[in-house]
Structure 1
């Protein structure tokens, strides 16, 4: 299971890297669509990860211990939806913060015995790449606006 989770996790990084880090390599006419594809994919992955928290909590929860994992699952799904209703770059900032906070909460769940250690390490590495990709997009977005392209026209 560890190998499969790692393979799927790495495959899930492909759109982040292709849309985020490699944005300047795509034709200029595609930037608008790629930025929104990146934002939408990011929100979708955040919602997916919050669903994983829900599932892991249900499968690993001990009846005598409260984990708040169900609440975490719902809240971060709502954050993902909220990010889709916000303009760029604010949605990207929200998503970066949400990925980092979700990872911190998953570390807490690991210490409560809900998440295995290997999974938390994998998630930390994947989250680091996701955050770096978001920072690249924010950099490119700032670079585009510096040259007179307003964010709403990207």
Structure 2
């Protein structure tokens, strides 16, 4: 089965996470600010996407999903805070933000909009991002020494 454009773009979006994680491990000077910036940019993009999706979805009574609206803004603010704290803490905050967004998207009110392939893609992308965040945490905390 051929990959959809969404799957190709999702996979391409992982490249900067993997490249900056590897660069941090190798001790490249600019890797930390790029990793931090890209983590925040993607978290902000995904928060906005989730917020936008929640705008058009109502429950069986016609009410908007206010939990998703508030949580999406909260995740954006969490990412903004993470951008300004030491990297060893930022990685945990970014990871938490990505996991919350995955949880929001998989809740019943939004889940019914997504195809199985997209749900599987989201799980996979989030897993790779959180693994990159964990590796960067390990490097920044000294658990995993740089090369």
How far off is 1:9 after superposition?
0.7
Query: How many residues were matched structurally?
Result: 142
Contact 1:56/1:115 (8 A) holds in 2: no
- Cα 1:114/1:75, change in 2 over 3 Å: farther
Q: What SS class does the counterpart of residue 61 from structure 1 fall into?
A: coil
Contact 1:61/1:114 (8 A) holds in 2: no
- Residue 106 of structure 2 corresponds to which residue in structure 1? 107
- Residue 152 of structure 1 corresponds to which residue in structure 2? none
Using the size of structure 2 for normalisation, the TM-score is 0.82
- Residue 74 of structure 1 corresponds to which residue in structure 2? 73
- Residue 150 of structure 1 corresponds to which residue in structure 2? none
Q: What SS class does the counterpart of residue 85 from structure 2 fall into?
A: coil
- Cα 1:141/1:112, change in 2 over 3 Å: closer
Does 1:58 find its partner at 2:45? no
Does 1:48 find its partner at 2:49? no
**Mapping of residues 129-144 of structure 1, within 5 Å:** 129-143=128-142
Contact 1:13/1:130 (8 A) holds in 2: yes
- Residue 6 of structure 1 corresponds to which residue in structure 2? 7
Using the size of structure 1 for normalisation, the TM-score is 0.79
Q: What SS class does the counterpart of residue 89 from structure 1 fall into?
A: helix
**Counterpart-to-counterpart distance in 2, 1:143 and 1:98:** 23
Q: Structure 2: 5+ residue runs without aligned partners?
A: none
Between 1:46-55 and 1:71-80, the stretch displaced more is 71-80
- Structure having the higher helix fraction is 1
**Counterpart-to-counterpart distance in 1, 2:64 and 2:95:** 27
